[in-house]
Structure 1
Amino acid sequence: MSKFNALQVSEVAGVFEPQVIERDTADLPSGELLIRVQYSSLNYKDALSASGNRGVTKNYPHTPGIDAAGVVEQSSVGEFAAGDEVIVTGYDLGMNTAGGFGQYIRIPAAWAIKRPQGLSLRESMVLGTAGLTAALCVDKLEQAGLRPDSGPVLVTGATGGVGSIAVVLLKRLGYTVAASTGKAEQAEFLKGLGASQIVTREDLQAGTEKAMLKEQWAGAVDTVGGDILFNVVKALQYGGSVACCGLTAGVGFKGSVMPFILRGVNLLGVDSVELPMVVKASMWDRLSLQWKLDLEPLVEEVSLQQLPEALTRILAGKMVGRVLLSLG
Structure 2
Amino acid sequence: MSDTFKAVLLREADKKVTAAIEQVPMADLPDGDVTVRVSYTTLNYKDGMVLNGIGRLVRTYPHIPGVDFSGTVETSDHPDFKPGDKVVLTGWRVGEMHWGGYAELARVKGDWLVKLPDGFGLDDAMAIGTAGFTAMLAVDTLERHGLTKDQGDVLVTGAAGGVGSVATAILSNLGYSVAGSTGRPDQADYLRDLGVSQVIDRAELAEAPSRPLAAERFAGCIDNVAGTTLSNLLTQMKYGSAVAAVGLAGGNDLNTTVLPFLLRGVSILGIDSVMCPKERRLQVWQRIAKELPMRKLHHMIERHTMEDLPELGKAILKGAVRGRTVIEIAGG
Query: Aligned-residue CA RMSD in angstroms?
Result: 1.3
Q: Is the 8 A contact 2:154 2:177 kept in 1?
A: yes
Report the AA paired with residue 313 of structure 2. L
The corresponding residue for 1:173 is 174
Superposed displacement of residue 42, structure 1: 0.3
Listed one character per residue, the Cα deviations across residues 261-307 of structure 1 (whole Å, up to 9, x for unaligned) are: 11111111100001101111111122123445431111111101111
Once the two structures are superposed, the pairs formed by residues 246-325 of structure 1 within 5 Å of their partners are 246-294=247-295, 295-325=297-327
Report the AA paired with residue 167 of structure 1. T
Superposed displacement of residue 34, structure 1: 0.4
Q: 1:54 to 1:151 in 2, by over 3 A?
A: closer
Q: Is the 8 A contact 2:174 2:291 kept in 1?
A: no
CA–CA distance in structure 2, aligned partners of residues 222 and 149 of structure 1: 20
Once the two structures are superposed, the pairs formed by residues 215-230 of structure 1 within 5 Å of their partners are 215-230=216-231
For residue 309 of structure 1, give the secondary structure of its aligned residue in structure 2. helix
CA–CA distance in structure 1, aligned partners of residues 329 and 312 of structure 2: 15
The corresponding residue for 2:91 is 90
Once the two structures are superposed, the pairs formed by residues 2-151 of structure 1 within 5 Å of their partners are 2-151=3-152
| Higher mean C-alpha displacement, 171-180 vs 209-218 | 209-218
| Higher mean C-alpha displacement, 12-21 vs 74-83 | 12-21
Q: Is the 8 A contact 1:168 1:293 kept in 2?
A: no
Superposed displacement of residue 69, structure 1: 0.5
Report the AA paired with residue 93 of structure 2. D
Superposed displacement of residue 54, structure 1: 4.8
CA–CA distance in structure 2, aligned partners of residues 254 and 211 of structure 1: 11
CA–CA distance in structure 1, aligned partners of residues 78 and 190 of structure 2: 45
CA–CA distance in structure 1, aligned partners of residues 200 and 167 of structure 2: 15
Q: Is the 8 A contact 1:208 1:254 kept in 2?
A: no
Q: Is the 8 A contact 1:118 1:289 kept in 2?
A: no
For residue 289 of structure 1, give the secondary structure of its aligned residue in structure 2. helix
| Higher mean C-alpha displacement, 193-202 vs 203-212 | 203-212
CA–CA distance in structure 1, aligned partners of residues 291 and 152 of structure 2: 22
Superposed displacement of residue 16, structure 1: 1.8
Q: Is the 8 A contact 1:286 1:292 kept in 2?
A: no
| Higher mean C-alpha displacement, 132-141 vs 283-292 | 283-292
* Structure 1 gap segments, 5+ residues each: none
With CA pairs under 8 Å and 6+ residues apart, which has the higher RCO, 1 or 2? Answer: 2
Give TM-score, length-normalised by structure 1: 0.97
Identity %: 39
CA–CA distance in structure 2, aligned partners of residues 322 and 290 of structure 1: 17
Q: Is the 8 A contact 1:132 1:272 kept in 2?
A: yes
CA–CA distance in structure 2, aligned partners of residues 298 and 24 of structure 1: 36
CA–CA distance in structure 2, aligned partners of residues 193 and 287 of structure 1: 16
Listed one character per residue, the Cα deviations across residues 219-239 of structure 1 (whole Å, up to 9, x for unaligned) are: 110011112112111101111
Listed one character per residue, the Cα deviations across residues 299-324 of structure 1 (whole Å, up to 9, x for unaligned) are: 11110111112111001221111111
Q: Is the 8 A contact 2:173 2:291 kept in 1?
A: no
CA–CA distance in structure 1, aligned partners of residues 197 and 306 of structure 2: 36
Aligned residues: 328
CA–CA distance in structure 2, aligned partners of residues 54 and 259 of structure 1: 31
Give TM-score, length-normalised by structure 2: 0.96
Listed one character per residue, the Cα deviations across residues 65-109 of structure 1 (whole Å, up to 9, x for unaligned) are: 000100000001221101111111101210021110001000111
CA–CA distance in structure 2, aligned partners of residues 20 and 209 of structure 1: 49
Superposed displacement of residue 196, structure 1: 0.9
Superposed displacement of residue 147, structure 1: 1.0
